[in-house]
A = this chain, B = another copy of it.
C-alpha cells in the first residue's frame, strides 16, 4: 500500500515535471518567435515551424499553406517595417499535452512602416504546436484583429 502510494506520487510528480518542462520549452519557442520578429530573422522564424504548417495571418490571403509559402510572407512582412519593431506580449496561456499543445496571447505591435505609416495596435495570436523529434514546432498560427462587420472596418484601437 505504501509502495503503491509512492508509485502514484512519483507518477503524478513525473507528469507535473513533464508538463512544467513542456510549458517552459514552448515559452522559449514563443520567445524565439518574438525575437525573430523584432530582429527580422527569417531563418530563426522558419526554424519554429513544421514544413506542413498552415497560417491564418492578420493580412490576406485567407490562409498560407506550407512553410515555403510562409517564408515568403515573412520576408515580405519584414521588408515593410522601417526601424525598430516594438512587441509586447500579454495574457499568455500555454496548454501543453503529450505531443500536441496550444498557446494564445495578445501582442502589442508598434512600429513605423517603410511607407511612413505608423502602426500601434493590439492583435490576438494563437499558436498550435506538435512535438517533433523532441522539439515543439508551430503547425498552425492564427493572428488577427477583430472586425466591425457593420462598417467593414478592422478594429485597431482596442486595448486589453
Contact = CB atoms under 8 A, between A and B. Distances in A.
Interface of A: 54, 56-63, 91, 93, 95-102, 104, 106, 115, 117, 119, 122, 124, 126, 128, 130, 139-140, 142, 144-150, 152-156, 158-160
Contact of A150 (B62, B117, B122): B117
A154 B148 contact: yes
Nearest to A122: B62
In the complex, the count of this chain's copies comes to: 2
A142 B124 contact: yes
Given A60-B158, A95-B140, A145-B147, 11 more contacts: A56-B146, A58-B146, A62-B106, A63-B91, A63-B160, A95-B130, A96-B100, A97-B101, A104-B140, A144-B144, A153-B154
B124 A56 contact: yes
Contacts of A159: 62
Contacts of A119: 149
A97 B98 contact: yes
Contacts of A150: 115, 117
A60 B95 contact: no
Contacts of A145: 144, 147
